[in-house]
Amino acid sequence: MKLRLGMIGGGQGAFIGAIHRIAARIDDEYELVCGAFSSDGEKAKASGLLLGLAASRVYTSYKELIEKEKQLPKDERVQVISIVTPNHLHFEPAKLALENGFNVILDKPMTFSLAEAKELQKVVEQSGKRFCLTHTYTGYPMVKEARQIIKQGKLGKIRKVYVEYPQGWLSFFLEGEDNKQASWRTDPTKSGIAGAMGDIGTHAFNLAEYVSGLHVTKLCADINTVVEGRKLDDDGAALLKFDSGASGVLVATQIAAGSENNIKIIIYGEKGGLEWQQDNANTLLLKWPDKPAEILRTGGSYLSSYATHNTRTPGGHPEGYLEAFANLYRNFALCVKADLDSKQPEKEWLDYPGIDDGLRGMAFVENVIASGKSDLKWTDFKI
């Protein structure tokens, strides 16, 4: 049985909408049945028809989609709604969908502000529906393996966390060239109070907390707007303090000319360390003080159930960004199907980012920007 999927946003010319649709199709867990792909009515209809949808289920607004889908018989209406709009259009569609009984998959960062994130958390809890936030990098098998290694205590007490996300695509003033992706991401009315820190800094923050299993309690940030004329930050770094006493460093920049998307994490414990980077996503490096380093590879029989559950191909066949994205969609689908069958989901299925990750991500945005503006050396991480 495929889950019936609807999409809000992601019409013609949209980058992330196509990624979501590919991710949803990889494991055949979903069928796209409806959508409100654009606020432009003609563009919305054209997008839906190109995707092969019935004209009657291509809507011109998210409100129309939710209202009309709710009126359909239970065995026909959409079951999961994927929201792939710019940040300022996350909260209202997600809230309305949840309140009307639909499960929600939402692109990150979760909302426009921390206040909206707190309200959405309440809505999720009250709705009883499932909610997934697409922090893609947690879907990689070797990222999941790294989390399990730390959780099992193999590195001992964690002492140091380094995470970096370098991009170079905003090294120039692209928002001045009618570049759609650059325009909304650098517009405070659409992106929120953060640019790079909201767009990719939240990914780095989420990866640091997910793999380490720790929570940030204090930070000290340096936030920069490098490209002349830009309205939001395009570069920054933060020193971190975690609840275990560990310290860390987070770097997120979109003006690293020549860099692509090689997000990277290094964690050191008292017994050893580990290293993972997206440029070599099938490899997890373990480093020890008293023996040679170990190289763990996706597909290995020695990996945890969390890594193997999220692996599709034999060892040596690379799995990348699309497959990691698809792992979030599949795990979410398996949990929704378990709910429909009144069964308890497997523990591996439940390993996808949710509302708490979204709330902490928005708290990171507000705290890191506030710290960057403050003269204080350290500021408490407040939610």
Give the tens place of pLDDT for each residue, 44-66: 999 999 999 999 999 999 999 99
Predicted pLDDT of residue 15? 85
Do 134 and 220 contact (CB within 8 A), yes or no?
no
Across residues 234-261, what is the average pLDDT?
98
Please check whether residues 157 and 306 belong to one and the same domain. yes
Please check whether residues 159 and 307 belong to one and the same domain. yes
Per the prediction, the chain carries an average pLDDT of 96
| Residues of the domain holding 205 | 140-313+360-380
What pLDDT band is residue 344 in, cutting at 50, 70 and 90? Answer: very high
Predicted pLDDT of residue 136? 97
Q: Which of 143-157, 171-185, 208-222, 258-272 is the least confident region?
A: 171-185
Please check whether residues 157 and 72 belong to one and the same domain. no
Predicted pLDDT of residue 13? 79
Please check whether residues 33 and 89 belong to one and the same domain. yes
Please check whether residues 78 and 58 belong to one and the same domain. yes
Residues 101, 24, 278, 290, CA torsion sign: positive
Domain assignment present for 60: yes
Q: How far apart are CA 2 and CA 10, in angstroms?
A: 21
Please check whether residues 268 and 124 belong to one and the same domain. no
**Strand segments (E) across 282-374:** 283-287, 294-297
Domain assignment present for 51: yes
Domain assignment present for 324: no
Q: How far apart are CA 340 and CA 338, in angstroms?
A: 5
Predicted pLDDT of residue 48? 93
Predicted pLDDT of residue 60? 93
Domain assignment present for 322: no
Domain assignment present for 323: no
Q: Which residues contact 178 (CB under 8 A, 6 or more apart)?
A: none
Domain assignment present for 43: yes
Q: What percent of the chain has pLDDT over 70?
A: 100
Please check whether residues 333 and 345 belong to one and the same domain. yes
Split into its structural domains, the chain has a count of 2
Please check whether residues 120 and 146 belong to one and the same domain. no
Please check whether residues 15 and 62 belong to one and the same domain. yes
Domain assignment present for 319: no
Residue 210 in this model has a pLDDT that exceeds 90: yes
Domain assignment present for 261: yes
Across residues 157-186, what is the average pLDDT?
95
User: Each residue of 122-155: pLDDT tens digit?
Assistant: 999 999 999 999 999 999 999 999 999 999 999 9
Can you say how many angstroms the Cα of residue 262 is from the centroid of all Cα atoms in its chain? 15
Say which CATH number the domain at 280 has: 3.30.360.10
User: Each residue of 290-327: pLDDT tens digit?
Assistant: 999 999 999 999 999 999 999 999 989 999 999 999 99
What pLDDT band is residue 39 in, cutting at 50, 70 and 90? Answer: confident
Residue 347 in this model has a pLDDT that exceeds 90: yes
Please check whether residues 241 and 257 belong to one and the same domain. yes
Please check whether residues 164 and 307 belong to one and the same domain. yes
Q: How far apart are CA 251 and CA 316, in angstroms?
A: 31
Across residues 198-212, what is the average pLDDT?
98
Predicted pLDDT of residue 251? 98
Please check whether residues 163 and 90 belong to one and the same domain. no
User: How is the beta sheet containing 264-269 ordered, strand by strand?
Assistant: 294-297, 283-287, 273-277, 264-269, 158-166, 247-253, 235-242, 216-224, 379-380
Say which CATH number the domain at 54 has: 3.40.50.720
User: Each residue of 65-109: pLDDT tens digit?
Assistant: 999 999 999 999 999 999 999 999 999 999 999 999 999 999 999
What pLDDT band is residue 178 in, cutting at 50, 70 and 90? Answer: confident
